[in-house]
Amino acid sequence: MAYQFLKTGSEDGIVKIILDHPPLNVLNIKMMEELIRAFRWAGEEPGSLVVLGAEGKAFSAGVDIADHTPDQVHAMIDVFDRLFLTMSEIEKPIAALVNGAALGGGFELVLFCDLVVASEKAKLGQPEVKVGVFPPIACYLLPRLLSWPLAMEILLGGEVFDAARAAQIGLVNKVFPADNFGGDATSYLKLFSKLSPVVLALTKKAARAGAGKDFAEGLKIIDEIYLQELMKTHDAVEGLQAFMEKRKPVWKGK
């Protein structure tokens, strides 16, 4: 599938979507439509993990300001919402690789991912308030990911912070040196890409199913996934059998 603003590929269990709109990977309406198509493709492509990365010196500087104007804003919000709704339907874990600035809508893409790997030179933040608007996805996510005061500091202050700060408050999993970011990030992702795709997907499903529910209700739903879906897969049976036989499991992704 041809894209104007993206590159895609699949290798060694990792399905890649790469932002490629130089110099700053600013998200315009057409690019977000392409991302929707790419994520739908990634959801169907074999593999354990979807990786969202970027070419150039920035991950993404956010949504094009021109698309915030009164004549464009309704179309922009529509495609922006559809992008995140599409991402929410992806069963595979999604990992963001951030080597540069991820600001505004670019940071919201990062926040929506299941895993985040950043380089030391990464800068992150929601500066929308400084231009008179607010970030819809971040307004939903940050109070769920952080304490209320921290979430409000990011949303109301609009300040940009570095990867070390993001890791400190729990928004980034790993921070690697910029000069070997690609290699270090790939090594880290191999921890996940070597695992069973179906088990990873069902683990993500179970975690999301229990979120926001009280313990008894959440546990009931998670147990149902475990008994009626996970334990009916080849890979769950194979993994347990391989452990008992002291050998490496042979995953089939089903």
pLDDT digits (tens, 9 = 90+) for 155-188: 999 999 999 999 999 999 999 999 999 999 999 9
Could you identify the residue written with the tokens 């070390």? Answer: 164
* pLDDT reported for residue 67: 83
pLDDT at 172: 98
The residue type at 25: N
Residues in a beta bridge with 166: none
Q: What pLDDT, on the 0 to 100 scale, is given for residue 177? A: 97
The pLDDT of residue 69 is 85
Read off φ and ψ for residue 118, nearest 5 degrees.
Answer: -130, 155
Task: Tell me the C-alpha distance between 169 and 121, whole Å.
Answer: 17
* Cα–Cα nearest to 95, from 122, 115, 124, 118: 115
Q: What is the pLDDT of residue 127?
A: 97
Strand partners, 11: 14
Pairing of strands 58-60, 14-19: unpaired
Q: Say what the pLDDT of residue 41 is.
A: 98
pLDDT given at position 68: 84
Residue 52 bridge partners (DSSP): 17, 96
Q: How far is it, in rounded angstroms, from Cα 254 to Cα 239?
A: 12
From the candidate CATH numbers 3.90.226.10, 3.30.1330.10, 3.40.30.10, 3.30.200.20, the one assigned to the domain spanning 6-193: 3.90.226.10
Task: State residue 71's pLDDT score.
Answer: 87
What does the domain layout of the chain look like in residue ranges? Answer: 6-193, 197-244
Vertex 134 angle, CA 147 and 24, to 5°: 100
CB atoms within 10 A of CB 173: 16
pTM as predicted: 0.95
Q: Which residues does the chain have with pLDDT short of 50?
A: none
